[in-house]
Amino acid sequence: MSHTNFLYSAAFVFVLAFVVSASGADEKMNVLFIAADDMNCDLSVYGNSQVKTPNLERLMKIGVRFDNAYCQQPLCGPSRASLMTGLRPDTLDMHTLKHELRQKNPDVVTLGQLFRQNGYFSARAGKIYHYGNPGQIGTDANDDPATWDMKFNPAGIDKKQEDKITRYGPQKGGLGISMAWWDPESKDTDHTDGMVATKIIELINQKKDEPFFLAAGFYNPHCPYVAPKKYFDLYPLDEISIPNLDEAKKDLLDVPAMAIQRDMRNWPYYFKGVSSKQARKCKQAYYACNSFVDAQVGRLLDALEENGLMDKTIIVFWSDHGYFLGEKGLWYKRKAFERSARMPMLIAAPGMSNDKSSQKPVELLDLYPTLADLCGLQAPKNLEGKSLTPLLNDPNDASWTKPAVTQVWHNKRAWGYSIRTERWRYTEWLEGAAGRELYDHRNDPDEIENLAGKAEFADVVSKLSKKLQSYVMLKDHKRVSSNR
């Protein structure tokens, strides 16, 4: 070989080695984005040993559990739109279940859209944006086409055989707000959520050699509570308890009327005529649905492991808000209490902390900047969340002082905002004109005693009220009564 050819060959090898090295260093991280619908923190991974969620525990072993994670609004539509845009409901001007994301925000870049713009394959199966559940299962519902390269809308027996569902209370109206359940002898894959998992597994297998953003949107445990019977069998009915109603009623005596105005017409349990026995059955069914979702999470984790993708995939598990199951005699969401605003959120990111928990208040809209940050993507400048990367490195990072803010909007005359710090939850209805609430979570995690009217807490109320003011950005057409 001539001297010139030798130098050329050596140079080529050097350049090739550099390119290979650089491409390895710049290899994109995948994202598996897993959503549950209406799931609260009644889970073994959050310390409730009764509710079996071994696969979420498995996820925590490789990641961080956020113990104080909160939604922006405890209602599916605005919560999910906020999460997927990194913007608060007030900024989006979205507070209902209407399909209006692009109508009101035509230029917004959604989370999945950002990944698409950066060379990722972006796809979903099931519910990520709002879907009427079960009414819109199997359709596009409120989906955003710009977010995805591919979408999949399965419909299982929970949708196709609704006539077999047992329903308590009023027998009219949709099942989307109902006390209803069904425990068929069935396979997981007969159900919509089993089909969601199957499709995402297929996509993991197909796209394992290219960067992906895959979203698995489970419909459970949203009512009607339907899951295979084997999950119901995990929860003998005689082991399901419901709070004492006399004590529950006392919990509400010092609460502003606006805080529970939707709930008191037929109190308890929202519907007239629902008995405590029936509520226990629905709670059993809800727990069964939690374990059913957990099993599907396990299938997804198995698929990543089988494809050797665990070290190059960021896994996020979240729910859109919390849920009442008889506490204070209440049911469902759409309340500013902790149990409605708080939901599970776990993040497993290769190279970050594992088997840790964080007590810092965080928000669902923090997920967008976090995933952009972890994947090295340039996020939009207007995001209102904050990257959780510092907490993934150190779950108790003292520099994290951002509170979590949740709002409730019923109509122009009924709305409020709630701020959560590490110790306090403080809520104002119509900026205080319709009442205030203050709960000390260091001593009162169940929010039994409202301290807002006590003189010794006036300074706390004043400080939190001032801190909350900057988050009240409700547009004029969405308000009538306020102090503005």
Q: What is the mean pLDDT of the chain?
A: 94
> Would the pLDDT of 5 be above 50?
no
What is the pLDDT at residue 72?
A: 98
> Would the pLDDT of 10 be above 50?
no
On whether residue 214 sits in a domain, the answer given is yes
| Residues 320 and 450 grouped into a single domain | no
Q: Which of 5-9, 206-210, 219-223, 405-409 has the weakest average pLDDT?
A: 5-9
Contact 416, 407 (CB under 8 A): yes
**pLDDT class of 21 with cuts at 50, 70, 90:** very low
On whether residue 19 sits in a domain, the answer given is no
Cα distances (angstroms) measured from residue 54 to each of 182, 190, 314, 354: 23, 22, 19, 16
What is the pLDDT at residue 484?
A: 45
What percent of the chain clears pLDDT 70, i.e. is strictly above it?
A: 94
pLDDT tens, residue by residue, 244-275 = 999 999 999 999 999 999 999 999 999 999 99
Please state, in angstroms and rounded to a whole number, the distance separating the CA atoms of residues 373 and 378: 8
Output phi, psi for 61, to 5 deg: -55, -25
The model's pTM: 0.94
Please state, in angstroms and rounded to a whole number, the distance separating the CA atoms of residues 286 and 326: 12
Distance in Å from the first CA to the final CA of the chain: 84
> Would the pLDDT of 17 be above 80?
no
What is the pLDDT at residue 25?
A: 46
| Residues 338 and 470 grouped into a single domain | no
Q: Which of 393, 413, 428 marks a domain boundary?
A: 393
| Residues 60 and 149 grouped into a single domain | yes
Contact 340, 322 (CB under 8 A): yes
- What is the enclosing helix (H) or strand (E) of 195? helix 192-206
| Residues 333 and 430 grouped into a single domain | no
Output phi, psi for 324, to 5 deg: -90, 140
Torsion of Cα atoms, 23 then 147 then 40 then 175, to 10°: -150
On whether residue 20 sits in a domain, the answer given is no
Q: Which of 362, 393, 424 marks a domain boundary?
A: 393
pLDDT tens, residue by residue, 213-241 = 999 999 999 999 999 999 999 999 999 99
| Residues 238 and 354 grouped into a single domain | yes
> Would the pLDDT of 14 be above 90?
no
276-294 mean pLDDT: 98
What is the pLDDT at residue 414?
A: 98
pLDDT tens, residue by residue, 70-117 = 999 999 999 999 999 999 999 999 999 999 999 999 999 999 999 999
On whether residue 88 sits in a domain, the answer given is yes
What is the pLDDT at residue 470?
A: 97
pLDDT tens, residue by residue, 421-450 = 999 999 999 999 999 999 999 999 999 999
**pLDDT class of 9 with cuts at 50, 70, 90:** very low
> Would the pLDDT of 6 be above 80?
no
**pLDDT class of 20 with cuts at 50, 70, 90:** very low
**Rg (alpha carbons) of the chain, rounded to whole number:** 23
> Would the pLDDT of 139 be above 70?
yes
Please state, in angstroms and rounded to a whole number, the distance separating the CA atoms of residues 434 and 430: 6
On whether residue 24 sits in a domain, the answer given is no
Q: Which of 263, 148, 282 is nearest to 215 (CA)?
A: 148
Please state, in angstroms and rounded to a whole number, the distance separating the CA atoms of residues 364 and 387: 11
On whether residue 372 sits in a domain, the answer given is yes
319-343 mean pLDDT: 98
Q: Which of 366, 342, 177 is nearest to 266 (CA)?
A: 177
In this structure, what DSSP letter does residue 342 have? Answer: B
325-352 mean pLDDT: 98
| Residues 350 and 429 grouped into a single domain | no
The CATH number that applies at residue 380 is: 3.40.720.10
**pLDDT class of 27 with cuts at 50, 70, 90:** confident
| Residues 416 and 385 grouped into a single domain | no
296-320 mean pLDDT: 98
On whether residue 17 sits in a domain, the answer given is no
pLDDT tens, residue by residue, 35-63 = 999 999 999 999 999 999 999 999 999 99
| Residues 374 and 452 grouped into a single domain | no
Q: Which residues are catalytic?
A: 76, 130
On whether residue 285 sits in a domain, the answer given is yes
Structural domain that includes position 246 = 31-393
What is the pLDDT at residue 125?
A: 98
In what order do the strands lie in the sheet containing 436-440? 404-411, 414-420, 424-429, 436-440
Which pair of structure tokens corresponds to residue 224? 């009607």
The domain total for the chain is 2
| Residues 331 and 434 grouped into a single domain | no
| Residues 452 and 342 grouped into a single domain | no
| Residues 262 and 300 grouped into a single domain | yes
Contact 200, 125 (CB under 8 A): yes
| Residues 236 and 380 grouped into a single domain | yes
205 against 20, higher pLDDT: 205
Q: Which of 393, 424, 458 marks a domain boundary?
A: 393
**pLDDT class of 18 with cuts at 50, 70, 90:** very low
171-176 mean pLDDT: 92
pLDDT tens, residue by residue, 348-394 = 999 999 999 999 999 999 999 999 999 999 999 999 999 999 999 99
The CATH number that applies at residue 419 is: 3.30.1120
